[in-house]
Amino acid sequence: MDKQQNNSRRDFVKKAALGSAALTFGGILPSFSARSYKSIVGSNERFNMGVMGVNSRGLALASNFAKQPNCVVRYVSDVDQRAADKCITRLETIQKFKPVAQPDFRKALEKKDLDVMVIATPDHWHAPAALLAMQAGKNVYLEKPCSHNPKEGEMLVAAQKKYGKILQMGNQRRSWPNVAQAIHEIHNGVIGRPYFAKTWYTNSRKPIGVGKPAAVPAWLNFDLWQGPAPRRSYKDNLIHYNWHWFWHWGTGEALNNGTHMVDLARWGLQVDYPTKVQSSGGTFAFSDDWETPDTQMIALEFANKSMITWEGRSANGKFNEGASVGVIFYGEKGTLQINGGNSYSIYGLDDKLIKEVKDNTEFKAGDLSNPTEKLDGYHFQNMFEAIKGNATLHSDIQEGYKSTLLVQLGNIAQRTSGMLITDPANGHIRSDAAAMKLWTRSYEKGWEPRI
């Protein structure tokens, strides 16, 4: 890292990273420009970044990191040459420095000047890439979900302990000031004992059709794209976004978007692992290559007499409770609702509004790659402060794994009997051999992830 001094900015970042901004200022992020972004958040200590996977969410993350005053994106890795070129051009405009194209991210990990690897690939690459990065001595910003299956999540937890690197999962709402304040209010008893958290995500996605075998495009390294996944032939409806709906590479809407709100629900209820998991749903809206549910209901019960539900509707965007995405906590004395943005509302048992905390930072509900750019900087800065030893991560891999596991268990229930009995000590599935087969996966020979 290149170091310069800027104490006023550093003090602010430290407060934000430690959470005091959330509890002291309430909503402190009005609408602001990229120029003011740099003056508000961060210090002049510059972290050298690499970004792996820059087609959609990765492009948004790379651009957002480039806007931070205390880092520079030096390496761009993508199997799609077009995506890499587009990202490099954009970043050069933003940060006035042209990143180096490093198509194979493993080559980027060899660079001594790389401090943090950002991983925004398809889900099947998340954990294997993070493991390789930590083994190379790099810190990691890992998009949710942290893993394709529970075993990989366990491996990440073990690897982080072994290598001692900072690993922040991208469930960025843990760093948003008003969201953190809302959870703090719940923990302080504003609605009494919370016992039920309802979460949801709605969208009006389109069918993906029936894929046809096709030649791999010249701009794509399909072998590296598949990486640890056993090889399958290329089809014309897979890349880029549609891989989400194939179990071989993706994890469905439950982990694509459900992870965010289920994470807040678990945080608010202060629970770790469930005792029972149920899921129902299926591909009800489409008759095409979708394998994961386009309509799904997951219910998780916990030993402290509480529960979480998640409703996912990928093909019908009708709002729930006035929002396309959200979580509602029901307690003995009232209700607290957090929608997609950095705001929340508290209601009494009579459903009358008691308190409303607003933030005018826009939440772009229809933006699939970057709905909350202006808020996500808090999560980045928390990671930077943790690397410097000045803060505790808001979403370390232990917490990220637990939240990811909840929706993974929902998917395993969906794909087997519909119901799982689980160990509240560690979330492991009890007495269900068929379900336990989905605790891990098979890998392409020579690509198996290791700690």
The structure tokens listed for 317 are: 């965007």
Q: What residues contact 333, with CB distance under 8 A and at least 6 apart? A: 189, 190, 191, 192, 348, 349
Q: What is the pLDDT of residue 362?
A: 58
The structure tokens listed for 145 are: 């979900």
> Is 1.25.40.10 the CATH classification of the domain at 181-211+221-364+402-439?
no
The residue among 104, 106, 97 whose CA lies nearest residue 132 is 106
Using DSSP's 3-state secondary structure scheme, residue 20 falls into helix
Q: What is the pLDDT of residue 374?
A: 82
Q: What is the pLDDT of residue 361?
A: 63
Q: DSSP for 380-403?
A: HHHHHHHHTTSS--SS-HHHHHHH
Q: DSSP for 244-265?
A: GG-TTT--HHHHHTHHHHHHHH
Q: What is the pLDDT of residue 359?
A: 87
Q: What is the pLDDT of residue 34?
A: 43
- What are the DSSP E strand ranges found in 82-193? 100-101, 116-119, 139-142, 167-169
Q: What is the C-alpha to C-alpha distance for residues 100 and 126, in angstroms, rounded to an integer?
A: 22
- φ/ψ (deg, to 5) at 214: -150, 160
Q: What is the C-alpha to C-alpha distance for residues 153 and 401, in angstroms, rounded to an integer?
A: 6
Q: What is the pLDDT of residue 318?
A: 97
Q: What is the pLDDT of residue 391?
A: 97
Query: How long is the chain?
Result: 451
Q: What is the C-alpha to C-alpha distance for residues 349 and 331, in angstroms, rounded to an integer?
A: 9
Q: Which CATH architecture has domain 7-174?
A: 3-Layer(aba) Sandwich (3.40)
**Residue 41 · residue 13 · CB < 8 Å:** yes
Q: What is the pLDDT of residue 41?
A: 38
- Per domain, the residue ranges of the chain are 7-174, 181-211+221-364+402-439
Q: What is the C-alpha to C-alpha distance for residues 7 and 25, in angstroms, rounded to an integer?
A: 20
The residue among 308, 328, 306, 200 whose CA lies nearest residue 336 is 328
Q: What is the C-alpha to C-alpha distance for residues 393 and 221, in angstroms, rounded to an integer?
A: 35
Does the N-terminal peptide bond of residue 240 adopt cis geometry, omega within 30 degrees of 0?
yes
**Residue 256 · residue 244 · CB < 8 Å:** yes
- φ/ψ (deg, to 5) at 355: -155, 140
The structure tokens listed for 428 are: 């492991």
> What's 305's DSSP letter?
T
H runs (alpha helix) in 388-441: 397-415, 433-436
Instruction: Give the pTM.
Output: 0.89
Q: What residues contact 266, with CB distance under 8 A and at least 6 apart? A: 197, 272, 308, 402, 403, 406
Residues forming a β-bridge with 278: 299, 419
The structure tokens listed for 113 are: 């000047």
- φ/ψ (deg, to 5) at 114: -95, 120
Residues forming a β-bridge with 280: 297
Q: What is the C-alpha to C-alpha distance for residues 272 and 165, in angstroms, rounded to an integer?
A: 23
Q: What is the pLDDT of residue 10?
A: 42
Q: What residues contact 319, with CB distance under 8 A and at least 6 apart? A: 202
Q: Residue 239 is which amino acid? A: I
Query: For the chain, which ranges sit under pLDDT 70?
Result: 1-44, 360-371
Q: What is the dihedral of CA 375, 379, 384, 386, to 10 degrees?
A: 150
**Residue 67 · residue 376 · CB < 8 Å:** no
Using DSSP's 3-state secondary structure scheme, residue 339 falls into coil
Using DSSP's 3-state secondary structure scheme, residue 402 falls into helix
Q: What is the pLDDT of residue 12?
A: 35
Q: Cα dist. 143→413, 419, 424 in Å?
A: 24, 28, 26
